[in-house]
Structure 1
Amino acid sequence: MVRLENVTLKRTLGMWAIVGLGLGYMTPTVVFDTFGIVSKETNGLVPLAYITALIVMALTAISYGKMVKVFPSAGSAYTYTRETMNPHLGFLVGWTALLDYLLLPMVNALIIRIYMVALFPEVPAWVWVVVYVAIVTAFNVWSMRNTSNLNAILVIFGTVLIGAFVVLAIIKLMQGMGQGTVFTTEPLFHSNLQLGHILTGATVVCFSFIGFDAVTMYAEEAKDDKTLPRAIMLTVLLGGAIFLIGAYFSQALFPDNSKFSVVDDPLPEIGYYVGGTLFKLLFVAGGFAATAASGLASHASVSRLLYVMGRNGVLPRKLFGYVHPKFRTPVFNVILVGLVSLLAISPSLELISAVINFGALIAFTFVNLSVIAYFIFRQKRYKTKKDIFSYLIMPILGAGSTGILWYNLHVDALIGGIVWVGIGCFYMLFQTKLLKRNITVLDYEAEQKI
């Protein structure tokens, strides 16, 4: 009989399965869902906002790749900060990261709600949210392998639809729609360009890239630890390329939001203007598939972050650190995330996506700082120019760039994030009896023997 405390996550994921989960998490079609919001923020320079965000994410991805080699455990920014700096600080970073991890599955449910209400306005919105959340939760309880396989199918379908959009967009541009030309610099630069607006837009699109760091949550389910650094960078580059292509052609076709009746999520209207009613239905189906894939991946990731925090005793171990002996999944956490996702019945996409970025950018900043803390201060890796560049200059650039984006966050996101951090501080003080005792630090060597 298997003892429950010895039940661990199962290693079933290869590199491309992890990349697929990362791309699924990133939701390639989200570039069309948020296009209206970002176009308004940037004065019609959505691709430039994505380029800015991609540079920041690439710098941070390099730091993630370094840290996942040192700490091949689920937990991401929470684990790295706790192990390289301070357990209390690690908890606060993990708590802050929970904000975006918990809300992203809800965003996916919210987008699905928007799609289905547009197609079937007579059906109450809450019905679609409940059905969608129930299906995603059931798949995540069942097994990680089946979740990965379904995610791969949905990602491929969504990507094919984006390819079809590009072909139709080229035809429409050649026929005179929008800018009237396939090759134009208007989506990247024009006289109304303002750096502050671009940075604000970049903070909005940052949550589209969250999937690259979420793949570190599968560290304990990867067949080979060496594949994770490559999977992280591939996820960033492939996802970024898809976002840039989608944003460029959308901006070339729609220089402003004047054609959209629903700016909060213009994907259905973009599909209609490019390919008529039939393509609108197919495009919504592609968006639905990509969003469902993101729902599966994001649901799985946050469940594993909660699992690590529970296993370490930061959260109640009996509940959050529990792995089902048959399914080998953190069942309680999966169900809890499903319950949180039900809140998608009412909020707006713009508000939730803004709040998500607060937690994401804090986590990204501390991953970069953890590289410096571990390699420079602990390992003393500063004796060669290569080490100084790799372990000091690069992470400083990464931390600085994420800090700039954080500074340009929407006011509502800052307020919501600060309130969440405040709750975390009170919880930590309670958990540590006013900091009189430490939060448990994970023993990696002991864990590898399990």
Structure 2
Amino acid sequence: MRPPAARRRPTEALRAAAPAGPSALRVKSPDVLIAESGADREGHGLKRTMGLFQLVCFGIGAIVGTGIFVGLSDTVAQAGPAVIVSFVLAAVTCVFTAFSFAELGGAIPVSGSSYSYAYATLGERTAFLVGWCLLLEYGISVSAVAVGWGQYLNELLGSLTGWQLPAALSSPPGDGGIVNIPAVVVMLLAALLLVRGIRESARATAAMAVLKIAILILFCGIACTAFRAGNLTPFAPEGIAGITSGASLAFFSYIGFDAITTAGEEVKNPRRNIPLAIMICIGVVTVLYCLVAVGAIGALSAGQVAGRPAALSLIVNRVTESAFGGGVIAFGAVVAIASVVLAVMYGQTRILMSMSRDGLIPRVFERISPRTSTPVAGTWIVAVAFAVPAAVVPLDVVMNLTTIGTLSIMAVVNVSVMVLRRTRPDLPRRFRVPLFPLSPVLGIAFCGYLIYGTGPVTWLEFAGFLAVGALVYARYGRRHSRLGTTPRTPAGDAPETGQVSGGTAADARRG
């Protein structure tokens, strides 16, 4: 039996949470978030078509890609054979935060992910800045993912035909490239699939997730046949500093697991399936990454792997003394990276849709096509906007900025779960963070530790990015916020129209 808050009709829930106080501190009740999204009813625009298996595949599809296929060599360059420790350290950081995402995703099953959680606990300005940082985690990271796609596409073309695209048109700037055409192509293809409908996108993501897991397992099997224990010494040539820097880079390989929470309005039984899918994804990916790292360093020395593009294909070519094996790995990487582009772009469009409902960004992002039940206009805007950095921005710059933005968001999520436990202990929760409050506190500490490892240059770049976000909120978001413009009755209740922060789902469809 649902608790009373969950049984409220949408308009009743909206009336129960009229804003109060300074705009920066206004919070939106979880009841309002759920009522606006239609998470407890059908016919709200988005359709519930994803089951647990598809959701797990979607999560793996969002995680496994550029970080392991392309970024492994950069992580090895920092940590040496201790890259294994770096991956474990990054995984531990994710596990603590994954607990918080799992509890919040089950308690507030909406599309806004960490943006919505911050809105429900820490206030509007913090929520906007979280949404601003999500542009890094989802928007800019999809650019980084797309950049890596061209490297493996060339590897695949070379193994099949002996011909490759010119480096000037297929590599990132700083690595011999001028404009990365494949990066733009894969983003436009992903957008085309996304606007066709979530059912088609989920099926494609599931198929690609299964394929890339099989490819990575194949890589581990091949690499282990050439394993040499001597390649693991010296184990940590750069000491703790190298392991920390390596962990900050390795963390990029885990970015995307929280994309599961962006599917809150399109998942069957979200209160159960979202927490379960997050835990399964983190477990599978961590084991897989550690096996790949051990296999890679065991087959070739750290010096041979460090800084090499398409490192996994290189290792298989050396071990098998044939280009065929490397071509198979390259094919897996092309599929894997394409699936990440698809899943992460999906997450970005759903977060922008939530922010648009609240009036913090233009309403075009909340419009849902009645034919495909997808935000068509928002999807194409995201694809075009982030294809530009994918084409012309160096990969290392994108990766570092994405990492620090994601770590900051995760720290906020850990804070949010503690605040929500205090302010809404009555909220239904299918999953609860274990060892509370120690787990979220450790999550914050580990996030801070990895942020430290990104370096002063990245700190300054991120500070500038946040300053721009704060200015955008002050000039646009605060003035257009629907939570801030809600008409108030003398008793403090919203009027019968229910126009609180973004309107109802029907209003969103009319927009």
Equivalent residue in structure 2 for 1:415, among 460, 484, 498: 460
State how far apart, in whole Å, the 1-side matches of 2:165 and 2:116 are. Answer: 46
Structure 2 residue identity aligned to 1:391: F
Structure 1 residue identity aligned to 2:131: G
Paired residues in the alignment total 430
State how far apart, in whole Å, the 1-side matches of 2:181 and 2:94 are. Answer: 36
State how far apart, in whole Å, the 1-side matches of 2:481 and 2:200 are. Answer: 44
Name 1:179's counterpart in structure 2: 229
Q: Is the Cα–Cα contact under 8 Å of residues 161 and 286 in structure 1 kept in the other structure?
A: yes
Name 1:30's counterpart in structure 2: 67
Name 2:475's counterpart in structure 1: 430
Equivalent residue in structure 2 for 1:129, among 175, 178, 183: 183
1:67 aligns with 2:67: no
Name 1:270's counterpart in structure 2: 315
Q: Which region of structure 1 is more displaced relative to structure 2, 352-361 or 428-437?
A: 428-437
State how far apart, in whole Å, the 1-side matches of 2:339 and 2:444 are. Answer: 30
What do residues 349-401 of structure 1 show as CA deviations (whole Å, max 9, x unaligned)? 222111111111011001100011111355399xxxxx997432211111111
Structure 1 residue identity aligned to 2:377: F
Structure 1 residue 156: deviation in Å? Answer: 1.5
Structure 2 residue identity aligned to 1:205: A
Q: Is the Cα–Cα contact under 8 Å of residues 88 and 438 in structure 1 kept in the other structure?
A: no
Q: Is the Cα–Cα contact under 8 Å of residues 84 and 370 in structure 1 kept in the other structure?
A: yes
Q: Is the Cα–Cα contact under 8 Å of residues 257 and 263 in structure 1 kept in the other structure?
A: no
Equivalent residue in structure 2 for 1:169, among 223, 234, 237: 223
Structure 1 residue 437: deviation in Å? Answer: 9.4
1:290 aligns with 2:336: yes
State how far apart, in whole Å, the 1-side matches of 2:455 and 2:60 are. Answer: 26
Distance change (3 Å), C-alpha of 1:23 and 1:396 = same
Name 1:192's counterpart in structure 2: 237
Larger radius of gyration: 2
Q: Is the Cα–Cα contact under 8 Å of residues 313 and 440 in structure 1 kept in the other structure?
A: no
Structure 1 residue 190: deviation in Å? Answer: 3.0
Q: Is the Cα–Cα contact under 8 Å of residues 154 and 290 in structure 1 kept in the other structure?
A: yes
1:84 aligns with 2:84: no
Structure 1 residue 439: deviation in Å? Answer: 5.2
User: TM-score, normalization: structure 1?
Assistant: 0.88
Name 2:419's counterpart in structure 1: 373
Structure 1 residue 61: deviation in Å? Answer: 0.5
Name 2:210's counterpart in structure 1: 156
Name 2:30's counterpart in structure 1: none
State how far apart, in whole Å, the 2-side matches of 1:352 and 1:234 are. Answer: 28
Q: Aligned with 1:37: secondary structure?
A: helix
1:360 aligns with 2:406: yes
Instruction: Map 1:43-122 to 2 at 5 A.
Output: 43-118=80-155, 119=158, 120-122=163-165
Name 1:384's counterpart in structure 2: none
Q: Aligned with 1:142: secondary structure?
A: coil
Gaps of 5+ in 2: 1-37, 171-179, 487-498
Instruction: Map 1:234-249 to 2 at 5 A.
Output: 234-249=280-295
Structure 1 residue 294: deviation in Å? Answer: 0.8
Q: Is the Cα–Cα contact under 8 Å of residues 349 and 382 in structure 2 kept in the other structure?
A: yes
Q: Is the Cα–Cα contact under 8 Å of residues 44 and 505 in structure 2 kept in the other structure?
A: no
Structure 1 residue identity aligned to 2:53: W
Q: Which region of structure 1 is more displaced relative to structure 2, 118-127 or 145-154?
A: 118-127
Equivalent residue in structure 1 for 2:303, among 233, 247, 257: 257
Q: Is the Cα–Cα contact under 8 Å of residues 74 and 216 in structure 1 kept in the other structure?
A: yes
1:392 aligns with 2:471: no
Q: Which region of structure 1 is more displaced relative to structure 2, 392-401 or 123-132?
A: 123-132
Equivalent residue in structure 1 for 2:275, among 210, 214, 229: 229
Distance change (3 Å), C-alpha of 1:30 and 1:210 = closer
Provide the aligned C-alpha RMSD in A. 2.9
State how far apart, in whole Å, the 2-side matches of 1:24 and 1:85 are. Answer: 30
Q: Is the Cα–Cα contact under 8 Å of residues 297 and 305 in structure 2 kept in the other structure?
A: no
State how far apart, in whole Å, the 2-side matches of 1:132 and 1:169 are. Answer: 29
State how far apart, in whole Å, the 1-side matches of 2:366 and 2:152 are. Answer: 35
Q: Is the Cα–Cα contact under 8 Å of residues 299 and 315 in structure 2 kept in the other structure?
A: no
Structure 1 residue 274: deviation in Å? Answer: 2.7
State how far apart, in whole Å, the 2-side matches of 1:440 and 1:354 are. Answer: 38
Q: Is the Cα–Cα contact under 8 Å of residues 432 and 439 in structure 1 kept in the other structure?
A: no
State how far apart, in whole Å, the 2-side matches of 1:98 and 1:355 are. Answer: 11
Q: Is the Cα–Cα contact under 8 Å of residues 96 and 363 in structure 1 kept in the other structure?
A: yes
Structure 1 residue 254: deviation in Å? Answer: 2.5
Q: Is the Cα–Cα contact under 8 Å of residues 358 and 481 in structure 2 kept in the other structure?
A: no
Distance change (3 Å), C-alpha of 1:254 and 1:314 = same
Q: Is the Cα–Cα contact under 8 Å of residues 77 and 303 in structure 2 kept in the other structure?
A: yes
What do residues 329-366 of structure 1 show as CA deviations (whole Å, max 9, x unaligned)? 11122112211124322333222111111111011001
Structure 1 residue 16: deviation in Å? Answer: 1.3
Distance change (3 Å), C-alpha of 1:392 and 1:447 = farther
State how far apart, in whole Å, the 1-side matches of 2:485 and 2:276 are. Answer: 30
Name 2:8's counterpart in structure 1: none
User: TM-score, normalization: structure 2?
Assistant: 0.78
> Percent of aligned positions with the same letter in both sequences?
23
State how far apart, in whole Å, the 2-side matches of 1:94 and 1:205 are. Answer: 23
Distance change (3 Å), C-alpha of 1:88 and 1:122 = closer
Q: Which region of structure 1 is more displaced relative to structure 2, 77-86 or 346-355?
A: 346-355
Instruction: Map 1:196-207 to 2 at 5 A.
Output: 196-207=241-252
Gaps of 5+ in 1: 382-386
Structure 1 residue 146: deviation in Å? Answer: 0.7
Q: Is the Cα–Cα contact under 8 Å of residues 76 and 214 in structure 1 kept in the other structure?
A: yes
Structure 1 residue 435: deviation in Å? Answer: 11
Structure 2 residue identity aligned to 1:283: I
Q: Is the Cα–Cα contact under 8 Å of residues 35 and 265 in structure 1 kept in the other structure?
A: no
Structure 1 residue 9: deviation in Å? Answer: 1.3
State how far apart, in whole Å, the 2-side matches of 1:162 and 1:266 are. Answer: 13
